[in-house]
Amino acid sequence: MLKDVFAKYHQSLAFAESSANISFRKNFGRKRRDPSFFLDRTRYFLDLLGHPDRGLEYIHVTGTAGKGTVSTMLQNVLTEAGEKAGLFTSPYVTSAIEEIRVGDLYISPCEFAGIMRYLKPFIAKAALGPFGAPSRFEIFLAVALIYFKRQKCKWVVLEVGLGGRFDATNVIAKPAVTAITNIDYDHTEILGKTLKEIAYDKAGIVKRSSTFFTSEQRPGLLAFFRSECKKKGAAFHFVGKNRNHRDRNALLVSQIATHLGIPRKAIDLGMKKTRLPCRFEVMQKSPFVVLDGAHNRAKIASVMANLAGLEYGRLIVIVGIANLRKDNKAILGPLVSGADRMILTSFGSAERMGIHPRALLPLALKLKHDRRVKISTEEDPEKALKLALKEADKRDCVLVVGSFFLAGKLRERWYPEAWVLKNRKSF
């Protein structure tokens, strides 16, 4: 019976991804000319569905690092306070159902497949309209919104997929709260090559008469956010001066929840129970195996800071980086400096492909300077993990890093997708 349910779920997922591929091929050239096209396409699709985004209270979260953690904490806090709260977040780690949650459980595979059956004629109709078929992300957003309405949620925490201003989640008109965790360099080919340009894109989520919170630290960017809030009549709140990322995330959540009138006990319990897969996740000890999806400068810095809190012998790093125009030097540099052994690997999925490890090898070798760190390649990530575990002794630490897709693939050694689908949890 479960196999039949899982089969229907995987068929529905394949349909969503195939529709997205058609959409991508048809509309790729439009992206650079007018990015508002994507918001128009999302709005058109949701209107065909009868506006499932309406009638919900939203907290909208973006930022370069920490937005997934902050979003999940907020949803946990709301749940602890007795509110019916949904969470839409990405990317998933092991199974796509992880992107949609109400309370403590992901959407069931059966419910996902059912909503996808409902959506098929609307996707076909949208494909014939002025904007073409919706993207995979837009389809998942629609699934989430319909699910939240069916579950009678009051609150929805929306994590931005990319940037903010032209992200599909930005179709929501009147969020109660908007938040930006921080600003750093990532997706510069889309968001801009300067911090001010990236901040401008992310600040697009600020809406008239909403309340805005940020834990960004740079005075120039704070002044920009304050100005944007003033233009739109949004209340501005700065959070957490001179704290590390983890403390600032917690304080950001605490201040947003306090603003919403949530009791202190629920805030503390909600934050305490928050645990995310592949966010410095210790899968085993003796040797340590740590999985982290860090894929930009800010997140790598956080990983290295967290490593300082562990006691271990050698550090063996398995790293794979997505085949995007990322700053590979900023990702690899700190890892090469801290590693005693490095294995470059790759990964592949319907959504993202990794750079071939041999293409990363020259840069990694250049970055090691005179350090006596052994660097090699292994294209198969599972073989890379086996090699690392074979070389590690009980006191060592094996770190898997560079992409959620890589970390999620290797996480299946401990939590296979069938387990996640059956239990609707990651742990």
Q: Each residue of 275-314: b (16+ CB within 10 Å) or e?
A: ebbbbbbebeeebbbbbbbbbbbbbbbbbbebbeeeebeb
Residue 30 has pLDDT above 60, yes or no: no
Residue 117 has pLDDT above 60, yes or no: yes
User: Comparing C-alpha atoms, which of 274, 271, 273 is closest to residue 258?
Assistant: 271
Angle at 190 between CA 189 and CA 195, to 5 degrees: 80
Residue 25 has pLDDT above 50, yes or no: no
**Tokens coding 89:** 């977040």
Burial class (CB in 10 A: 0-12, 13-18, 19+), 163: buried
Query: If you average pLDDT over residues 108-131, what whole number do you get?
Result: 96
For the chain, list the domains and their CATH numbers. 2-276 (3.40.1190.10), 281-411 (3.90.190.20)
Residue 31 has pLDDT above 50, yes or no: no
Q: Give the pLDDT confidence score for residue 35 in this predicted structure.
A: 87
Band (pLDDT 50/70/90 cuts) for residue 20 is low
Chain segment 161-192, per-residue pLDDT in tens? 999 999 999 999 999 999 999 998 877 778 88
Q: Coil, helix or strand for 287?
A: coil
Chain segment 45-97, per-residue pLDDT in tens? 999 999 999 999 999 999 998 999 999 999 999 999 999 999 999 999 999 99
Chain segment 301-331, per-residue pLDDT in tens? 999 999 998 999 999 999 999 886 668 999 9
Q: Give the pLDDT confidence score for residue 27 in this predicted structure.
A: 53
Band (pLDDT 50/70/90 cuts) for residue 1 is low
Chain segment 265-289, per-residue pLDDT in tens? 999 999 999 999 999 999 999 999 9
Average pLDDT score, the chain: 92
Instruction: Indicate the range of 100-104, 269-273, 297-301 predicted with least confidence.
Output: 297-301
Band (pLDDT 50/70/90 cuts) for residue 348 is confident
Residue 101 has pLDDT above 60, yes or no: yes
Rounded Cα gap, residues 60 and 172, in angstroms: 9
Rounded Cα gap, residues 244 and 55, in angstroms: 36
Cα 221 versus chain centre, distance: 23
Q: Which amino acid is at 230?
A: K
Q: Give the pLDDT confidence score for residue 95 in this predicted structure.
A: 95
Query: With contact defined as beta carbons under 8 Å apart, do 146 and 118 qualify?
Result: yes
Q: Coil, helix or strand for 27?
A: helix
Q: Which amino acid is at 99?
A: E
Q: Give the pLDDT confidence score for residue 29 in this predicted structure.
A: 45
Query: With contact defined as beta carbons under 8 Å apart, do 99 and 413 qualify?
Result: no
